[in-house]
Structure 1
Amino acid sequence: MQEWIDNVWAPDIQGPSVLVLDSLKTHKMECIRTRLIAHAHTSVVYIPPGITGLSQPMDVSIGIYMKYVLQNGILTDAAQKRRHIAMSVLQALEEVKEVTIRNGYLKGGLVATGPRDMESNRHATS
């Protein structure tokens, strides 16, 4: 997870951000939270177990399609399966429409309606 933070997440962060994580034990380790705050200017919010469908927009919007594509492979060799999974994920992501992702965030209630401070008070834009 630390490698992912350093090599994938942190390089693209342009300012303060929030990362919504599930309750996986690794996600809840103090060293992970500290690294996200210190190296990626990222606050962490943990979702309670059992509410993925309500709080993770990618699962709501494209997860079902991706799971279908990944589960319907007919390959038996481990290397073929890994390649199939990688190619299927790429194909599924390429086919997802922007509006589908946007709707997933809307359904998850994770759409900001304007600039806010730490207490969620809205600020007027110029």
Structure 2
Amino acid sequence: MSQKTLTKEDLSQFTGTEQWYRHGLARNVLYTDGAKHVAESGGAYWLLDEIAFAQSIRQVAAEGFQVWKLKVSPDHKATLACEDGNSKIVFTKEIEFTDFPLVEIAFYFTDKVLMLPSEY
């Protein structure tokens, strides 16, 4: 078991991407260096999976620009929400348990690419 080393300060270093990564199961979804860093350092490939798999939901797929937010409570439960870019929530999912190391994180998803906001 690897130790989760993700910090909020780490995320500010990502201002673009040098490589695109194709999701292993949702082959039409790509993600950036920053998203990969979150998955590796935060033990959160599951989070990339949740966002990629949600693209098959009609209300989610209808949004060309999506803002995804994960908020983790002190009891290790979390809420994953997708907004339309204008703060309107189009999808939410309750996560019963997570050991994700940050209290919250956001991603953008547009043109079939998942990225950190600083990479947009």
TM range (shorter): under 0.3
The structure with more strand, counted as a fraction of residues: 2
Scaled by the length of structure 1, the TM-score of the pair is: 0.24
More helix by share: 1
Structure having greater relative contact order (Cα 8 Å, sep ≥ 6): 2
Q: Which protein shows a greater Rg?
A: 1
